[in-house]
Amino acid sequence: MSDAAATLHKTVERMEARALAYQRIYSWPACVDPSNGALMLALHADLDAITVPAELGVRTQRVLCLRMLAGPVLLLPTGSGTTGPDWLFLTGPAQALRHRTIVELGRIGARFHQRSTFVPLPPTRVNGSEVRWSTSPVSGRELPPWAAVIAALRSAALGCTQ
């Protein structure tokens, strides 16, 4: 086995242990991509995600904290180094939105993740930097309702963070 293959094998083993911990502690469908050792979270019917630019993420989390609805948030390196990491909000199940609302949220930089796709979990590396938690998950605590995160995004985008 080459040095690179041995290193990847050790990384995959280490990440598999972390995936099992996420499964056991949070009941999340975490897994490891065997091609690169990335620790990934599968989005599904009970777990969705919304990604926004850094500044909007900070304001949105402030709104959610004030409303006692803050949940786990991942910081995803963008690779640009100037704007800060993207903020990925883990939420309960997505609901239908009016087309106008989707367009409005797209204009402010919100990106919706499709079900049955994967998002990286710490300590996976993306764009040369490590994914990390801004707000870590809490065992036994439900994810914030998707609609509450959408409302907080809209409030934060309008500057209503009090």
For 87-100, write each residue's pLDDT tens digit. Answer: 999 999 999 889 99
Q: pLDDT tens digits, residue range 21-60?
A: 999 999 999 999 988 999 999 999 999 999 999 999 999 9
| Strand extents, DSSP E, 38-155 | 38-42, 48-52, 73-76, 86-91, 111-112, 118-120, 125-126, 129-130, 132-135
Dump pLDDT digits (tens) for 126-144.
Answer: 988 999 999 999 999 999 9
Can you give the pTM of this predicted structure? Answer: 0.91
Dig out the tokens for 133 from the structure: 């938690």
